[in-house]
Chain A
Amino acid sequence: MKSVRAALDAPTVPESMPLLEVRDLAMTFRGGVRAVDGVGFEVAQGETLGLVGESGCGKSTTGRMIVRLLEPTSGTVHLNGQDITHLSQRELLPLRGTMQMIFQDPFSSLNPRHTVNQIVAGPRRVLGRDQVIELLERVGLAPEHADRFPHEFSGGQAQRVGIARALANGPKLIVCDEAVSALDVSIRAQIINLLSDLQEERGLAYLFIAHDLSIVRHVCTRVAVMYLGRIVEIGPAASLYSDPAHPYTRALLSAVPVADPKIEAVRERIVLRGDPPSPAAPPPGCSFHPRCALAQRRCESEAPQLREVRGRKVACHYAETSA
């Protein structure tokens, strides 16, 4: 009896169990839009995974399924080894402290009728006023900001409030859904630095969602590139940036300006033709083929699976030849 209990208490997962594990995640909205179609990845404790792709490719939907604002159509989400895919809101309560979210629009994510104190303390009032003030100071705000309303803040300050709110429960994982995209370039760096400092200090893991690769470059240990609801390339940030294997990754990278003007002047630029197709009617075969410079016959009928190529996973039939 005792051994059974012990076995239950200590989950039967290896030491290196990832903090977050997502398998074959899919979301089909009413009307048949397959916004996310079989996405899988892991996020380890203290790590940052970047999730990058054009607008509408399903990044936010993925993030919202992970924090369970949405219930996935299929697939699983494991947090600390626990399957949370279909837990009810009430069952999720104890886990709300573990995973949090920072939203894109700092203003629309703060209730205009609540004070900062109310917002940071949260619906369950997990923090007292003193703790709220302590947190505000940690994210670079002043104690007197506690009694202000969101519209009295600049975008950068409002996003700091959003960060303080996410930290209130002492989370292990924070989904940052384009957390800096809406901010001025000058403020972006400050917020990103704050996020990195907090990560080191508190051992946080981030799922860092962005629509271009330049933002995630400095913060991510690994990067996943999404196209039309699927991951087309996922691997360590360093190799993905220096040697992208998927034609789509290369196109995204070529849109990122290089600091050195000499390289900037001569570097190859791949312009993506047209807009991404609608997720309601994805092209057959490789869904990237209408826009891919390397597309062959085979690409129009046969969907490429994710497979190991040069130390990462790539979904392209010609990933080896295209380097």
Chain B
Amino acid sequence: MAGLVVVLTLVLLAALAPVITAWTGWAPETFDKTAIDPNMGGLPKGAWGGIDTEHLLGVEPVTGRDVLSRILYGGRISLLIAMLATAITVVTGLVLGLLAGFLGGWADTMISRITDLLMSFPSLIFMIAILSVVRDVNRIVLLVAVLSIFGWTVVARIVRGQVLTIKHREYVEAARVGGGMTGYILVKEILPGLTAPILVYATQAVPAYVGAEAALSFLGVGVRPPTPSWGQMINNARGWFMTDPVYLAVPCAFLGLTVLACTLLGDGLRDAFDPKAVRS
């Protein structure tokens, strides 16, 4: 429950980023030279990374850009990428897993081979390679594509396994005997049994993708400046963590909170869908 509240709050904050920044008066790209101390090598004025009533989460060293504003806009990017990648992964994996499990035969063989191949790939190295080679493409689209290419295989595996067990349940055979055609059986008899594992998977995939996007941006192959993202902020903050630890702590805290909340939500969903828990 706590997970759900936190996740919803984070999503809401990210969605309302323009409203909130209009209210604070600090856009993510606006420099604030008054908030930094040029004599200290551009460190924010004040002990806590420049946190005061003007900049609620402090400012970026050197430029004086508002950290809250950049966190909100960065969160938008991170969550957008994670959710898009999750959606594409789930839909692709669901369709291919259903086909493989239900049709069997050559369809199953082909899909399973592709799954095996992609899963045995050193995906992180491959992602870094693609992301650093391909240049003039929208980074967000590229990140979503690269994450999805390697992500759907997990869903396809889960779905295929589930379909194989559900397919031979007696109630599916009863539907056949009752005159149910393939479409009916897929949609009405098999799909409902897949919603629980897929929802649980999705709640785990979102934080995993937030983390992956952060990691790739941290490595410098993800979202490019001036677009903010959490991983990129953490990367920038690396050089400052001795002198301005708050600048590093804030994006790390948001990343950690997101991952934790999504994981809690996933556990909660898993319990909610547990048939034994439902029955008692």
- Chain B residues within 8 Å of A109, by CB: 170-171, 173-174
- The stretch of B59-67, B150-158, B184-192 in contact with A is B184-192
Further contacts, 13 of them, CB under 8 A, given A96-B177, A96-B178, A165-B178: A64-B173, A89-B176, A96-B179, A97-B179, A101-B174, A104-B170, A108-B171, A109-B174, A113-B192, A122-B179, A123-B180, A162-B174, A169-B178
Docked-complex contact B173 and A103, CB < 8 angstroms: yes
Docked-complex contact A69 and B179, CB < 8 angstroms: no
- Chain B residues within 8 Å of A97, by CB: 179
Of the candidates A101, A113, A123, the one having the most CB atoms from chain B within 10 angstroms of its own CB is: A123
**B166-210 interface bits toward A, Cβ cutoff 8 Å, 1 = contact, 0 = none:** 000111011111111110110011001100000000000000000
* A to B CB contacts below 8 Å, 30 in the list: A69-B176, A69-B177, A89-B176, A89-B181, A96-B177, A99-B177, A101-B174, A101-B177, A103-B170, A104-B170, A105-B170, A108-B169, A108-B170, A108-B171, A109-B171, A109-B173, A109-B174, A110-B174, A111-B171, A111-B175, A111-B189, A111-B192, A123-B178, A123-B179, A123-B185, A124-B179, A165-B178, A168-B178, A169-B178, A169-B179
Complex: how many Å from CA A168 to CA B188?
19
Which A residues are closer than 8 A to B by beta carbons?
A: 64, 67, 69, 89-90, 92-93, 96-97, 99-101, 103-105, 108-114, 122-124, 151, 162, 165, 168-169
- Chain B residues within 8 Å of A92, by CB: 179
Complex: how many Å from CA A100 to CA B278?
31
Are A124 and B193 CB-contacts (below 8 A) given A103-B174, A108-B171, A109-B174? no
- Chain A residues within 8 Å of B192, by CB: 111, 113
Complex: how many Å from CA A92 to CA B173?
14
**What number of residue pairs across chains A and B have CB atoms under 8 A from each other?**
65
* The 3 residue pairs across chains A and B that have the minimum distance between CB atoms: A123-B180, A109-B170, A96-B179
Complex: how many Å from CA A111 to CA B170?
9
Min Cβ gap B76→A in Å is 37
